[in-house]
Amino acid sequence: MHLNITEFPVETLVRIVSDLLESIIQANDVLTKKTALTRFHSRAKPTISIYAYLVRILKFAPFTNEALLSLLVYFDRIAVKHHYAINSFNVHRLLITSVVIASKFTSDVYLPNSRYAKVGGLPLLELNQLELDFLFLCEFKLYVALEDLQEYGNQLVQHAMNRTFIMPMVSPTSDQPSPFMTPTPTKSTATMIEKLPVLFDNSTLHRKCNKTITIQKRFCPSPPYSASDS
């Protein structure tokens, strides 16, 4: 299966990526009972689902398919190089942070961190720190070859077909915000952003656990993995 990165509806790709992440997190929550805690970890599992969170980000801070695929590559890299497991406690902070970084790297036009912080439900200072932490996890290597993006995209389509997704192959309507343009918020949109609630407990965990779990499987080339795959 071949994914047309430039024309595939972002909304549909968000749905597929969300399903993939949910599958991987279900496995990681079982496999990584004890793992090193970082600034990305919340004290409790956020109540908002991954899909709802990504839809919220897409609505108020639009991103492209390139950015969405790039963040999966980044997750893969930090999992392989640093044995960093994505789970229910850190996935939301990792998502908003990687959307910020991937959007800045893949597009000449992007939103300020203050907007991303409000949309992501985090204080601005915390998001700034998370951005820096994520860059160090990636070792500031943010470039992703087009061939790799295409491979990840094709794997996502295959994942969707295996999960019997209904994927409407339609183009976004004209009244939807273009992910290639800086959105100019209308009065109503700006008001909605101001009223967005803070989603997370601002007190992150910094203590260290004694054991770090090594995750053997890569993030996307064979999605999703489970405990039986190790």
> What's the CATH code of the domain at 214?
1.10.472.10
The answer as to whether 28 is a domain residue is: yes
- In total, the chain counts a number of residues equal to 230
Range of the domain at 15: 10-165+179-220
Statement: residue 101 has pLDDT above 60:
yes
Q: Average of pLDDT values for 198-206?
A: 44
Statement: residue 13 has pLDDT above 70:
yes
The answer as to whether 111 is a domain residue is: yes
The answer as to whether 4 is a domain residue is: no
Please give the biggest Cα pair distance in the chain. Answer: 53
Do residues 51 and 14 touch, judged by C-beta distance below 8 A? yes
Do residues 184 and 67 touch, judged by C-beta distance below 8 A? no
* Tokens encoding 150: 């295409």
The answer as to whether 229 is a domain residue is: no
Q: Where are the alpha helices (DSSP H) in 1-64?
A: 10-31, 50-60
The answer as to whether 61 is a domain residue is: yes
Q: Is the dihedral angle over the CA atoms 118, 52, 14, 70 positive or is it negative?
A: positive
Q: Average of pLDDT values for 79-108?
A: 91
The pLDDT, as a whole number, for residue 157 is 87
The answer as to whether 131 is a domain residue is: yes
Q: Average of pLDDT values for 34-51?
A: 86
Do residues 127 and 85 touch, judged by C-beta distance below 8 A? no
The answer as to whether 228 is a domain residue is: no
When pLDDT is cut at 50, 70 and 90, the band that residue 181 belongs to is very low
Sequence-separated (6 or more) residues with CB below 8 Å from residue 9: 168, 169, 170, 171, 172
pLDDT in tens, 141-157: 999 999 999 998 888 88
The answer as to whether 121 is a domain residue is: yes
Q: Is the dihedral angle over the CA atoms 132, 60, 106, 171 positive or is it negative?
A: positive
* Counted domains in the chain: 1
Statement: residue 91 has pLDDT above 80:
yes
When pLDDT is cut at 50, 70 and 90, the band that residue 173 belongs to is very low
The pLDDT, as a whole number, for residue 159 is 83
The pLDDT, as a whole number, for residue 137 is 92
Q: What is the mean pLDDT of the chain?
A: 75
